[in-house]
Amino acid sequence: QKEVEQDPGPLSVPEGAIVSLNCTYSNSAFQYFMWYRQYSRKGPELLMYTYSSGNKEDGRFTAQVDKSSKYISLFIRDSQPSDSATYLCAMSTGRRALTFGSGTRLQVQP
């Protein structure tokens, strides 16, 4: 079993929809939770960064962490075609290395 599980998709939604992306994990030592966006043939770009449990909002993006359930989510409101990319969750115990999920491919249809 992988430490971080993420549905690979693809997830196809119409423009303007609310998108929900999720990851589950097994390592209770994870304290830092990140979401990265990766466009084709590009490196991952940090979208959201959360320490421990709770919610964080940044524009159209909201990240949620539920450590009791070992479950994290990323919500995208008013999705745009430019949001079409692969979304990677990542986690860390604070000892430098990040553990990534396999990524969910999102397609927003105009």
Partner 1 sequence: DAGVTQSPTHLIKTRGQQVTLRCSPKSGHDTVSWYQQALGQGPQFIFQYYEEEERQRGNFPDRFSGHQFPNYSSELNVNALLLGDSALYLCASSSTGDNEKLFFGSGTQLSVL
Q: Which residues contact 68 (CB under 8 A, 6 or more apart)?
A: 53
Least spacing, CB of residue 96 vs partner 1, in Å: 5
Q: How far apart are CA 81 and CA 79, in angstroms?
A: 7
Secondary structure (3-state) at 54: strand
Which is closer to partner 1, CB of 15 or CB of 45?
45
Among the listed ranges 13-21, 36-44, 61-69, 73-81, the one in contact with partner 1 (CB under 8 A) is: 36-44
Identified binder of partner 1 from the candidate list 19, 72, 101, 108, rule CB under 8 A: 101
CB 21 within 8 A of CB 38: no
41 counts as binding partner 1 under rule CB under 8 A: yes
Which is closer to partner 1, CB of 36 or CB of 64?
36
